[in-house]
Amino acid sequence: MTGDREVIRQYLDQLRLSLRIPETGRILVEAEDHLREAAAAGTAAGLTQTEAQQAAITGFGPVRAIVYAHLTRHGRAAAVIADLALALWRVAAFYLLAGFAVGLYELLTTSGAAACTAWSRSCRVLPGMPETTTVAAVTVWAVTGMAGVALLAAYFLVRRFQRRRGRVWSVPLGGYFPLMATVVSVAAGAGLLLADTSRAAFMPGTAVIIYAAVGLAVTYGLRMCRMLWNQARGRDELAAGMTAGTLGREVIYRLYARRLREQLAGGRLPRHVGIIMDGNRRWARRQGLADPSLGHRYGARHVENVLNWCQKAGIKHVTVFGCSTDNLANRGDAELAFLMQVIEQVIADKLSRDPAWQVHIAGTLDMLPDTTAQALKRAVEASRDCATGAHVTLAIGYGGRQEVIEAIRSLLYEHAERGTTLAELAETITTGDIARHLYTAGQPDPDLVIRTSGEQRLSNFLLWQSAYSELYFCEAYWPAFREIDFLRALRSFAARQRRYGR
Task: Answer for the pair 120, 113: CB distance below 8 angstroms, yes or no.
Answer: no
Toward other proteins, which CB reaches closer, 162 or 305? 162
In the bound complex, what is the minimum distance in angstroms from residue 70's beta carbon to other proteins? Answer: 5
- CA of residue 337 relative to chain centroid, distance: 24
In the bound complex, what is the minimum distance in angstroms from residue 328's beta carbon to other proteins? Answer: 19
Toward other proteins, which CB reaches closer, 66 or 342? 66
In the bound complex, what is the minimum distance in angstroms from residue 1's beta carbon to other proteins? Answer: 11
- CA of residue 381 relative to chain centroid, distance: 30
Residues forming the site for other proteins (CB under 8 A): 23, 26-27, 29-34, 36-38, 59-62, 65-66, 68-70, 72-73, 288, 290-293, 335
Catalytic residue among 327, 447, 460, 485: 327
CA atoms of 427 and 321, how far apart (whole Å): 34
Toward other proteins, which CB reaches closer, 3 or 166? 166
Task: Answer for the pair 351, 384: CB distance below 8 angstroms, yes or no.
Answer: no
In the bound complex, what is the minimum distance in angstroms from residue 340's beta carbon to other proteins? Answer: 16
CA atoms of 322 and 343, how far apart (whole Å): 8
In the bound complex, what is the minimum distance in angstroms from residue 11's beta carbon to other proteins? Answer: 10
Toward other proteins, which CB reaches closer, 212 or 323? 323
Q: Within 13 Å, how many C-alpha atoms sit on residue 153's CB side?
A: 6
CA atoms of 214 and 406, how far apart (whole Å): 64
The 3-state DSSP class for residue 23 equals coil
Task: Answer for the pair 324, 460: CB distance below 8 angstroms, yes or no.
Answer: yes
**Can you spell out the DSSP letters for 321-370?**
EEEEHHHHHHS-HHHHHHHHHHIIIIIIHHHHHSTTSEEEEES-GGGS-H
Toward other proteins, which CB reaches closer, 79 or 116? 79
- CA of residue 391 relative to chain centroid, distance: 25
Toward other proteins, which CB reaches closer, 237 or 291? 291
Q: Does the annotation mark 278 as catalytic?
A: yes
CA atoms of 61 and 96, how far apart (whole Å): 43
In the bound complex, what is the minimum distance in angstroms from residue 78's beta carbon to other proteins? Answer: 13
Task: Answer for the pair 380, 306: CB distance below 8 angstroms, yes or no.
Answer: no
Residue 267 phi, psi dihedral angles, 5° rounding: -80, 175
β-bridge pairing 317-324 and 391-398: parallel
Catalytic residue among 236, 278, 445, 485: 278
Residues marked as catalytic: 278, 327
